[in-house]
Amino acid sequence: MKWPIAPAVRKPGLLNLVPVLVVVIGLVLLFPVRSEAYAGPGAGFAVLSSFWTLFVAFLYSVYAFLTWPFRHVLRLLRRRKAYGKAQVTRAIILGFDGMDPELADRFMQEGKLSHLAKLRDQGTFLPLRTTCPAISPVAWSTFQTGVNPGKHNIYDFLARDLSSYLPFLSSAQIRGPKRRLRIGEYSVPLGKPEIKGLRRGTPFWHWLGKAGIFCSVIRVPVTFPPEKFPGVLLSGMCVPDLKGSQGTFCFCTTRGAGDKFREGGVRIPIERHGSVFRSYIPGPEDPLATNSGSGLRVDFELRADLRHNQARIEVDSQKFTLKIREYSEWIPVKFKAGLGFTARGICRFYVKQLSPEVEVYVTPVNIDPGRPDLPISHPVTYSIYLAKLFGPYATLGLAEDTWALNEEVLDDQAFLAQCYANHEDRERMLFDALDKTPQGLCVCVFDTTDRVQHMFWRYLEDDHPAARKVPRDQRPSVIEDLYRRMDDLIGRVMDQIDDKTLLLAVSDHGFKSFTRCVNLNAWLHQNGYLALNSGKSESGDWFQDVDWSRTLAYTMGLNGLYLNLKGREREGIVEPGTESETLKNELRTKLNGLVDPASGGIGITGVFDCDAVFAGPYVDNAPDLIVGYGAGFRASWDSVTGRVTTQLFEDNTKAWSGDHCIDPRLVPGVLFCNRKIAEEKPAIVDVAPTILKLFGLGLPTYFDGKPWTVAPEPSK
């Protein structure tokens, strides 16, 4: 699918005069005398700018050449340690978030994935056991650290605050500066915001880097904030947008106030002033505001040209023309606070319609990679380097706006265009990293596989409740096309590798249909484990109206079930020890095998005790039980946000129609390799020790994964 963008601005026609001017100026220069020896600042700029570039390059060259012998000796010393016993000179790991082994196998059988089939036939294709729970941040954290969640501290996208029962992002915390100076109406921050990574453990590329093996790591989830190591890294999933959220789109419309979006977006009114429509993009909180809730904004104007089905948009003194149902390029926007404070971001505009109503979708405002306000890469210059090389790109962790499609702000086509535009950017980054990493490790994770399967699984099944509006003969084969694209990418990577290179294609989990929602909070309520305030039969989000003094257990997030433990939760009532163990066993027994009366399917196929599945210093932060939903089921949208409803099971009619946050045994990922791997049941936790071993490094004792036995050469 092509990414539609606004047409390029025409070059000035005056350049047609150039040949004439060349002749005239040539004649002038034939007779040089004093006064025309200097041809003005234009020449000065050109000379100075190009000279400056060459001068800086020259300085770098001198520095590089002078220091190169020393660095080379150091590197050799370190590399001897690393490459001395290495079986490979380069390892390439392509991560395809959510690539499903069953689907891959099916498409390979049908002859649709020739490159993956080649890897299968000449090397390895196996299901890759995922983590418990089978959630991306959990699985990718295990992938990079080689340990179970009890040692890396990530159990879900969200964790809960024990004092308030409210959620917070499990991977990173961003706090404003502690000290502020009050000047009149302003509260000036003294210092930088504090960004704290919450994932523990050491990514395996740190070990490689220390041994002198260069690593390029691109968009691996849960790498924000980026950690210092000898290599380059661009952070992936969990990088926030400029508002600090995980992605808040903006839908500007002239329609009257509609329903509030459930999640992920805000509706902004467009005001009409004659032929001009005015609206704004909401931004981050004003850093100088004395009271919270006063957000910054960037205004924009739109002039509709109905005759040509296009609009002229002016934002931040930039003007561009946009056809209906086309995305703009990335537009830089600057949110201005007082006293010269600004926040810079980039976003894309999409004009949905101009008549009878004007509707404009604006992507979440991403951190500008060329001028990042928060560190999104290591070193900081790496994101700038990529932005200069390829132009601006999406930096938000969850860059594909699934919420906008879920809320029907975007349609299928617009969503896919967004996904594949981001994917193409990622491909460019990958191939540049391959170019820059002739030896060492190159890891790149592609999210498109996850997002597209989440949103288009409905078209794989005849009777998915989310696809009932679309006639069967009109359902596009989006997922098959997705797998073909990934296969094509793997083919291009295979063309670039030699026999000394190890190629791994892995996914963190597989996929299953999501047709039925389970509100576990409703079940807990109906079965006497969760109490509401008197007179209430339902609660609002985040346990509004829950009576904690009578609540034994609750659930929030995708798979976690928590006991309301005394001494741990603010209003805990379950005594730790025998009482809590008894309660856990009781819940496990009752929930395991829970049947959906409407469909007859088993809603829950496994409930896992955290004490049995996790081990490590951060087990105390884990949910007490992990709920493994059956195939076709998942936690309901309400249950995820801590809402108690009356309905236990309901149809999932949202575009988000496939999922993996279920029983981990049902959704293994994939493992493709260009060498034979002698392992029957490989797991994602084994990747880190395997790579270290292939580079000849010793393994840290705390690793939970075991290295695979990999054939020394690719099979022919």
Binding site for other proteins (CB under 8 A): 8-9, 11-15, 17-18, 21-22, 24-25, 27-28, 30-31, 33-46, 48-50, 53-54, 56-57, 60-61, 64, 68, 71-72, 75, 214, 232, 317, 379, 381-382, 384-389, 391, 435-436, 438-439
CA dist 611 to 229, 279, 628, Å?
33, 52, 16
Question: Given the complex with other proteins, which of 49 and 533 has the nearer CB atom?
Answer: 49
Rounded to the nearest whole angstrom, what is the least distance from the CB of residue 210 to other proteins in the complex? 14
CA dist 628 to 82, 134, 613, 651, 666, Å?
41, 9, 13, 18, 9
Question: Given the complex with other proteins, which of 12 and 597 has the nearer CB atom?
Answer: 12
What 3-state DSSP class applies to 278? strand
For residue 407, the tally of other CB atoms under 10 A from its CB is: 21
Question: Given the complex with other proteins, which of 28 and 306 has the nearer CB atom?
Answer: 28
Rounded to the nearest whole angstrom, what is the least distance from the CB of residue 68 to other proteins in the complex? 7
Residue with tokens 């829970």: 594
- Asked if residue 287 lies in contact with residue 337, where contact means CB atoms within 8 angstroms, the answer is yes
**Cα(255)–Cα(279) distance, integer angstroms:** 13
How many C-alpha atoms does 340 have within 13 Å on its Cβ side? 0
Rounded to the nearest whole angstrom, what is the least distance from the CB of residue 328 to other proteins in the complex? 14
Question: Given the complex with other proteins, which of 79 and 693 has the nearer CB atom?
Answer: 79
Question: Given the complex with other proteins, which of 15 and 612 has the nearer CB atom?
Answer: 15
Rounded to the nearest whole angstrom, what is the least distance from the CB of residue 447 to other proteins in the complex? 24
The burial class, CB within 10 Å (0-12 / 13-18 / 19+), for 32 is exposed
Alpha helices by DSSP H, listed for 357-477, are 380-390, 402-406, 412-436, 448-456
Rounded to the nearest whole angstrom, what is the least distance from the CB of residue 287 to other proteins in the complex? 24
C-alpha dihedral sign at 647, 649, 655, 660: positive
Question: Given the complex with other proteins, which of 436 and 665 has the nearer CB atom?
Answer: 436
Rounded to the nearest whole angstrom, what is the least distance from the CB of residue 415 to other proteins in the complex? 28
Query: Could you tell me the two tokens for 62?
Result: 């001198």
- The DSSP code for 177 is -
Rounded to the nearest whole angstrom, what is the least distance from the CB of residue 280 to other proteins in the complex? 21
Rounded to the nearest whole angstrom, what is the least distance from the CB of residue 49 to other proteins in the complex? 7
Query: Could you tell me the two tokens for 591?
Result: 């929930």
Question: Given the complex with other proteins, which of 191 and 391 has the nearer CB atom?
Answer: 391
- Asked if residue 691 lies in contact with residue 153, where contact means CB atoms within 8 angstroms, the answer is no
How many C-alpha atoms does 237 have within 13 Å on its Cβ side? 26
**Cα(99)–Cα(511) distance, integer angstroms:** 7
Rounded to the nearest whole angstrom, what is the least distance from the CB of residue 681 to other proteins in the complex? 38
What 3-state DSSP class applies to 116? helix
- Helix (H) or strand (E) run with residue 62 in it: helix 41-83
Question: Given the complex with other proteins, which of 80 and 681 has the nearer CB atom?
Answer: 80
CA dist 71 to 77, 142, 419, Å?
10, 33, 41
Rounded to the nearest whole angstrom, what is the least distance from the CB of residue 637 to other proteins in the complex? 42
Question: Given the complex with other proteins, which of 112 and 371 has the nearer CB atom?
Answer: 371
Question: Given the complex with other proteins, which of 107 and 207 has the nearer CB atom?
Answer: 207
Amino acid letter, 499: D
- The angle that helices 380-390 and 412-436 make with each other, rounded to 10 degrees, is 110
